[in-house]
Amino acid sequence: MRSLSRWKIRRGALAAVGALAVSVAGYAAPAGAAPVSRTSEPTGSVSSSSVEGTPALVEAGTKQEKIRQLVQCGGTMYAVGFFSEIGQDGTTYLRNNVFSFSATAPFAVTAWNPDVSGRVNSIAFNGSDCSDAYIGGKFTSVGSTPAENIAEVDTTTGAVVPAFGTDATGSVDTLLGVKGHLLVGGQFTRINGSRTDPYMASVSPVTGQDDGFLHLSISGHYHYCDSTGACTTNTLTDINNQQLSHGGTLDLVEGDFTSVGGLPRQQIFMLNLATDPATVTGWTSPEWDGSNPSYPYQCVVVEAYYIRSAAWSPNDSTVYIATTGYHPWNLPVGSYPRSGLCDAAAAFPATQTSVTHLWVEYTGCDSYYSVAADDGTVYVAGHPRWAENPNGCNYAGPGAISDPGLQGLNPSNGSLELTSAGKPVYRMARANADDMLITSAGLWIASSNRYGAQKCAHNDGHSGICFLPYPTS
């Protein structure tokens, strides 16, 4: 939710213009603006009730803490973010920004305690080898060992592995182990002595040295001004997130940039990992890259970077995105039905060419931060209050459905999945859900304790981590 005073717009004024409709030439009204066909509870989807007993953030309601990412290796879950204490069944564990626990009930917290001095944004492994983990973030030490934003850590002792380099000049925001490489993204311009590949580099999992698998020449950042003269304030090029395809040959990458591999790319691009070095594919869209002025592709200046997460369909044929952004800068509050991709979930073909959306679903000016998909459902989460709300902004417009936190969407058309009783299938507290992970057992959700949030899918006591299993019968 955006503060109305922040935008100098009164709630009464919003209500007064709620029926106004403004269109942009050449831009078709999204699927969310029209009636959609519905299904009852989907098949192949996770349960609507969360599992009890998972670890949780202790500081709920007193200071904001967050589980930034969850990754499973073998039978263990690894959680990273910014936090100092983890609670489980009445016991408190002192854990600074990294911890692990069993992936199965009773989800026991392990003794592993690397004690990282600052925020950890990402954790990754070298294939199926779970003996060491790679961590990246904004920190200066792991235990008593100096480490600048990146390190390899023994998953038994918590000690830094000395052979792997520990020096990145800016924050490391995303890590991915694939094909014998560690793909590293962030705000750094030098990593372990190399300036060859700023912002995103491929390094050796053994030494941490640039191994030459990526040469993307990433550059640029958003800087534009809207019709009022307000300009973007972000001045940092950044690679923020990435998702490997199920086939293992393609990688979606999100961040703040304007050029990748010599091609114009903004917010998101697709890498082909089957070539050496990896190459940027032709997959892009005028809906975010600015190549067609008919599309309202930029969001308000304070949220210019808005594609925060993406996910592949199980067969890799479709890409789903989750966005922030409030509203398009040239479609102000009061312009309905909404167009563009701001504060929305959307589906695009994964064809390696220029594409346009299959469907768009709107929250009504609340952010999505993560998305995941299985055979039955597209899961989107963040801090939405409503779904199917293209005709409201910070209030429920006509046809909006109340569904805070986690939502389940029909993969075919983006409509909200409802139970046979006409209620949303999934509900959770409106904490920012930064990451979702689908495993063979179910859906894991990593979130913050924003708003003092504790609820996940109808159950309390889940600040930071929630697990929704697949039905067993």
pTM (two decimals): 0.89
What's the rounded mean pLDDT across residues 415-439?
86
What is the spatial distance between Cα 99 and Cα 50, in angstroms, rounded to a whole number? 21
pLDDT of residue 335: 83
Strands 181-186 and 172-178: antiparallel
Q: What is the pLDDT of residues 316-364, one digit of tens each?
A: 999 999 999 998 887 777 889 999 999 999 999 999 999 999 999 999 9
In this structure, the number of other CB atoms found within 10 A of the CB of residue 156 comes to 12
| Strand ranges across the sheet with 250-256 | 238-244, 250-256, 268-272, 279-280
For the chain, the distance separating the N- and C-terminal CA atoms, rounded to the nearest angstrom, is 38
Two structure tokens written together for 321: 């995105």
- Could you tell me which residues come within 8 angstroms of residue 16 by beta carbon, excluding any fewer than 6 positions away? none
Q: What is the pLDDT of residues 240-287, one digit of tens each?
A: 999 999 999 999 999 999 999 999 999 999 999 999 999 999 999 999
What's the rounded mean pLDDT across residues 400-413?
94
Which CATH number do you get for residue 292? Answer: 2.130.10.10
Q: What is the mean pLDDT of the chain?
A: 86
What is the spatial distance between Cα 438 and Cα 423, in angstroms, rounded to a whole number? 24
The domain total for the chain is 1
| Sequence letter at residue 19 | A
Which residue in this structure is represented by tokens 């990282």? 116
Least confident span in 160-164, 224-228, 367-371, 383-387: 224-228
Secondary structure (DSSP) of 156-170: TT--B-TTS--BBSS
Q: Reply yes or no on whether the pLDDT at 43 is more than 80.
A: no
- Residue 75, domain extent: 5-469
Q: What is the pLDDT of residues 187-225, one digit of tens each?
A: 999 999 999 999 999 999 999 999 999 999 999 987 666
In terms of pLDDT, which residue wins out, 76 or 11?
Answer: 76
Q: What is the pLDDT of residues 7-33, one digit of tens each?
A: 222 223 222 223 223 333 333 333 433
Q: Reply yes or no on whether the pLDDT at 91 is more than 90.
A: yes
- 3-class DSSP string for 187-199: CCCCECCECCCCC
205: helix, coil or strand?
A: coil
What's the rounded mean pLDDT across residues 131-153?
98
